[in-house]
Structure 1
C-alpha cells in the first residue's frame, strides 16, 4: 500500500480510537490571573536593574544609553566587533536613524526574498538589528514580534543580534506583558522570547554558544526620562 493511500486509513483509525475513549472529567482552568495578582512585588532594585542583572546572567551584553545617544552606542558596538555589514528591516522605528547614521556599504536592508538572499545572508552579513516589543524583567528575556518589516531571520541567523529596547517596555513577568499589551486581542503569527545568545549542550553535554543562532546578544537599553 502506498503512503498516500495509507494516510487516510491511519487518520481514520486515530479518530476512531479517540471517539471510543471513555469520557474524562474536565480539568479546571487554573486561576493564572489570581496567582500573579497575589504574588509579592519584588523589592530592593528597580525593574530596569532586575532586567539588566538577569539578562547579563544569560550572557547578554546590556548597554544602558538614551534615546539621543543610542546611535553612538551602536557605532561603538559595530566598531568593536568589526561589523562590516549590518542587516536591518525597513519601515521600523529605527530605520530612518540607521539610514542617516550608517554608510550604504555598511547597512543592508532586508528587502529581498529569502530564497534569493540566502547566499548573502549566510555568507556576508555580520549582524542583525531589531526593535523589540518589550522585555521581561523576571527572566531577562526580550519580546520580539517578527513581521514583514522585521522577519525573524534578523534575530536568528547572524552571529551578532543587536536589539533596541525602551525601558518603558519592561514588564515584571510574561503574564504582565501579555495582559498589559493586550496580546489576547492581537496575537501575532509568531512571538519570540529571546533569553541570551543561542546556546546548546546537546553535544557531549558541553555548553556551546552560536551553534544554531547568534553567539552574541547586545541589548541597547534606552532609559526613560532622558532627552530624545
Structure 2
C-alpha cells in the first residue's frame, strides 16, 4: 500500500463509530435579508462598529460640531480636512467662527499630485458625510464626490463620519432600493466597516496600516 492509499484508508476509518450531525442549517440566513426592529437598528450598527475598534457617538444636527471639536482636542489635533462647500463644512466653519476656536480647516482643493506629501503625511484628520449605513454589517456607505474625494476617508489617520440616524438601513439590499442605486452608481462606492486593520503571519493585528487608524461615527439622532 502506497502513501496515498494509506491516507485514504485512515480517512475512511476515522468516521467509524461516529454519528453524523443533524442537518439543521437555516437556509434563511443566506436567502433572506437580515432585518431589525426600528428601535434596534442604531444599537445593532453601534455594536458591529465598536466590535471592530470603531467609535460611535450619539449627537444631534445642532450639537455635532461641538462634538467634533471635543474629539479633536482630546487627540491634540489642530487641523481638519473638510469639504468647505458642503452643508456640514459650512456648519462646522460657522460654529468654529462663533466659538473662536483655533482649529484650522483645510480643503481638498487641488489634484492629489499637487499635494500628495501634505495629504499623506501632514493631514491628521478628515470629516466627511455619508450616504447612510447598514445595520447588519455595521457598515457606512460613502459615495465619493468632487467635493469629498475618496482619499478624504481613506488617507488621514482619523476619519470622522457624519451619519443621519434616519438613513440607517437593515441590510445592503434595502439601502440600494431606498436610495435608487439601480438608477445610477458613482465611479466608486465605499462600504466602511471600521478603521483600517491588517494582520501579519504571526497573527498580530495592527490598525492604520492601509488607511485610517481611527474611525469616529457621529450619529445624528434628529436627522
Same fold (TM over 0.5): yes
Which residue matches 2:211?
Answer: 213
Please give the residue correspondences for 1:1-228 in structure 2 after superposition, counting only pairs within 5 Å: 41-43=35-37, 46-102=40-96, 106-224=104-222
Query: Within 2, Cα distance between the matches of 1:78 and 1:39?
Result: 37
Which residue matches 1:24?
Answer: none
**What is the Cα deviation at residue 45 of structure 1?**
5.3
Unaligned runs of at least 5 residues, structure 1: 1-33
- What whole-Å deviation, never above 9, does each CA across 1:104-138 have from its counterpart, x for those lacking one? 86110111111111121122211011000000011
Query: Within 1, Cα distance between the matches of 2:41 and 2:146?
Result: 31
Over aligned residues, Cα RMSD in angstroms? 2.2
Aligned partners of 1:90 and 1:111 also within 8 Å: no
- What whole-Å deviation, never above 9, does each CA across 1:30-88 have from its counterpart, x for those lacking one? xxxx9999557435952111111111111110010011111111111010111111001
Query: Within 1, Cα distance between the matches of 2:33 and 2:137?
Result: 16
Query: Within 2, Cα distance between the matches of 1:127 and 1:44?
Result: 32
Unaligned runs of at least 5 residues, structure 2: 1-27
Aligned partners of 2:34 and 2:171 also within 8 Å: no
Which sits farther off after the overlay, 71-80 or 38-47? 38-47
| TM, length-normalised to structure 2 | 0.79
**What is the Cα deviation at residue 186 of structure 1?**
1.6
| TM, length-normalised to structure 1 | 0.78
Aligned partners of 1:65 and 1:222 also within 8 Å: yes
Aligned partners of 1:60 and 1:218 also within 8 Å: yes
Could you list the runs of 4 or more consecutive aligned residues of structure 1 that deviate by over 6 angstroms after TM superposition? 34-37
Which sits farther off after the overlay, 201-210 or 143-152? 201-210
Q: Rg bigger for which structure? A: 2
Query: Within 2, Cα distance between the matches of 1:59 and 1:110?
Result: 27
Give the aligned length. 192
Which sits farther off after the overlay, 194-203 or 72-81? 194-203
Describe the shift of the 1:121–1:177 C-alpha distance in structure 2 as closer, same or farther (beyond 3 A): same
Describe the shift of the 1:91–1:139 C-alpha distance in structure 2 as closer, same or farther (beyond 3 A): same
Aligned partners of 1:163 and 1:219 also within 8 Å: yes
**What is the Cα deviation at residue 196 of structure 1?**
0.5
**What is the Cα deviation at residue 192 of structure 1?**
0.2
Aligned partners of 1:64 and 1:221 also within 8 Å: yes
